[in-house]
């Protein structure tokens, strides 16, 4: 699976500044995707995962605040900061009210920006509670041993492939909730594209077959959106 560590999407329409920041961040071990419009940003977010978004407010196609609202709505776990010339107190307060984890004013020293980003990402990572996962999970009348990649029903063992195991674990962790095609593909396949989506459908068919012995379990298809593992 593609690593998502230190991946940043930079939304900046100024050619000189965008180039300077993307090059400097790349030199400091960040993988940067630089785009100039909100539309380009949203397209990238559909197919890749990122650790952080850096948003300008004054963009050619959409106000950066409105872009932040869309990001917050579609990708609520994705942190974002503003880097903008809009420095009035009302703008700063609006940025934070939208959920920004920082509001930086142009011009900013590149070294300061790197330090701030590193501190933010370190704080976000250390604030996440570390949960110890059990290898054995009960799913209806099934026993799912994720470590051994086994699904057990009435002492009959079905051995799972690595992808089947990863997919079932993802669905189980999010049971009775919608798992979108994008989230599944990015988290398990590493990329959201047509061919991986076809592969996903094949693996869903496999899991449905394996789980057919318990009528309280079903994997429902939500048209054009994703799947829900429902456990009564």
| Domain-terminating residue out of 62, 92, 127 | 127
Same domain as 53, residue 26: yes
| Domain-terminating residue out of 127, 151, 172 | 127
Same domain as 120, residue 145: no
Say if 2 falls within a structural domain. Answer: no
Say if 78 falls within a structural domain. Answer: yes
> How many structural domains is the chain composed of?
2
Length of the chain in terms of residues written:
232
Say if 159 falls within a structural domain. Answer: yes
Same domain as 114, residue 11: yes
Same domain as 118, residue 44: yes
For residue 219, give its domain range: 136-231
Residue 119 has what pLDDT? 87
Q: 64: how many CB neighbours lie within 10 A of its CB?
A: 25
Same domain as 102, residue 38: yes
| Domain-terminating residue out of 63, 95, 127 | 127
114 to 24, 29, 72, 185: CA distances (angstroms): 9, 10, 23, 30
Same domain as 194, residue 223: yes
Residue identified by tokens 């993307």 is 22
Same domain as 155, residue 90: no
Same domain as 187, residue 93: no
Residue 134 has what pLDDT? 66
Residue 126 has what pLDDT? 62
Residue 2 has what pLDDT? 38
Mean pLDDT of successive 10-residue stretches along the chain, which has 232 residues: 67 94 92 94 88 94 93 89 92 93 90 89 68 76 92 93 94 92 89 90 96 95 94 89
Rounded CA-CA distance 136/87 in Å is 53
Say if 188 falls within a structural domain. Answer: yes
Same domain as 121, residue 143: no
Reduced to 3 DSSP states, what percent helix, strand and coil does the chain have, rounded to the nearest 5? Answer: 45, 25, 35
Same domain as 30, residue 52: yes
Same domain as 166, residue 227: yes
Say if 1 falls within a structural domain. Answer: no
Output the domain CATH number for residue 196: 1.10.10.10
Output the domain CATH number for residue 113: 3.40.50.2300
């Amino acid at each position: 699976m593609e690593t998502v560590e230190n991946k940043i999407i930079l939304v900046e329409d100024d050619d000189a500044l965008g180039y300077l920041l993307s090059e400097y961040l790349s030199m400091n071990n960040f993988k940067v995707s630089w785009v100039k419009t909100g539309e380009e940003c949203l397209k990238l977010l559909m197919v890749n995962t990122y650790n952080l978004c850096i948003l300008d407010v004054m963009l050619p196609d959409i106000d950066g605040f409105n872009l932040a609202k869309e990001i917050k709505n579609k990708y609520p776990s994705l942190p974002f900061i503003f880097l903008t010339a809009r420095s009035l107190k009302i703008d700063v307060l609006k940025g934070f009210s939208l959920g920004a984890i920082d509001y930086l004013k142009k011009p900013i020293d590149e070294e300061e920006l790197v330090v701030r980003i590193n501190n933010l990402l370190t704080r976000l990572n250390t604030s996440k509670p570390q949960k110890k996962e059990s290898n054995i999970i009960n799913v209806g009348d099934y026993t799912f041993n994720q470590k051994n990649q086994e699904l057990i029903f009435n002492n009959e063992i079905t051995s799972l492939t690595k992808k089947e195991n990863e997919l079932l674990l993802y669905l189980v962790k999010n049971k009775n909730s919608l798992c979108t095609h994008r989230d599944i593909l990015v988290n398990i396949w590493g990329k959201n594209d047509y061919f991986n989506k076809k592969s996903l459908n094949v693996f869903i068919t496999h899991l449905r077959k394996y789980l057919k012995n318990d009528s309280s379990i079903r994997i429902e298809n939500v048209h054009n959106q994703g799947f829900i593992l429902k456990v009564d």
